[in-house]
Amino acid sequence: MRILIADDSKIYRAYMIDLLSRVEGIEIAGQAEDSPSAVEAIERLKPDVAILDIRMPGGDGILALETIKRNKVNPKTIMFTNYPYPHYRKKCMDAGADYFFDKSTEFEKLVETLKKLAQEASYTKKVETGFKIASQEFVPNNQNGRTKQLKQTRQQKFPLL
């Protein structure tokens, strides 16, 4: 699972990258220090998960969240902030955030959530790979016209999760 970290603190980004890169199934796709570069990096790199701080230069994490959701870029979004106030939480969730964590008290919860998402991504990838292999094994290779029809039928009967 590919993650992008957007936070204005270079030290905090380095800490997060060091810690999260050790978690099985997690790859750091990129990082950003402000809202505009976060939006650009998310659209360019297409991470599976974007971790956004609320307070950043050039706008904020909420503006970045609203922009990526409006532009139909759909990574899971985690707001990770030192400003866990109810009005921020509501605004983020209304804007489409999937999770909202307090940096000072919920770091372990963030890591556990990322581990869970990485396990789910790994399972989904295995199911998709297994389905493709099964499709190829059960479809005759010697009948060109019929091969395509059998693949389509099998996919309709057994849709992916």
The 10s digit of each residue's pLDDT in 116-143 is 999 998 766 555 545 444 434 333 444 4
Residue with the larger pLDDT of the pair 43 and 157: 43
**So what's the pLDDT on residue 100?**
98
Write the class of the CATH domain 2-123.
alpha beta
Q: Token pair for residue 52?
A: 């956004």
Confidence of residue 159 (pLDDT cuts 50, 70, 90): very low
- Residue intervals in the chain for CATH 3.40.50.2300: 2-123
The 10s digit of each residue's pLDDT in 48-90 is 999 999 999 998 999 999 999 998 888 999 999 999 999 999 9
pTM: 0.76
Q: How far apart are CA 99 and CA 55, in angstroms?
A: 16
Instruction: Provide CB contacts within 8 A for 116, sequence distance 6+.
Output: none
**So what's the pLDDT on residue 138?**
38
- Residue 5 near residue 61, CB atoms below 8 Å: no
Instruction: Provide CB contacts within 8 A for 46, sequence distance 6+.
Output: 2, 73, 75
Compute the mean pLDDT over every residue in the chain, rounded to the nearest whole number.
82
Average pLDDT over residues 5-17: 96
Burial tier of 45 (Cβ tally within 10 Å: 0-12, 13-18, 19+): middle
**H/E run at residue 138:** helix 107-138
**So what's the pLDDT on residue 71?**
87
DSSP 3-state of 114: helix
Average pLDDT over residues 88-107: 96
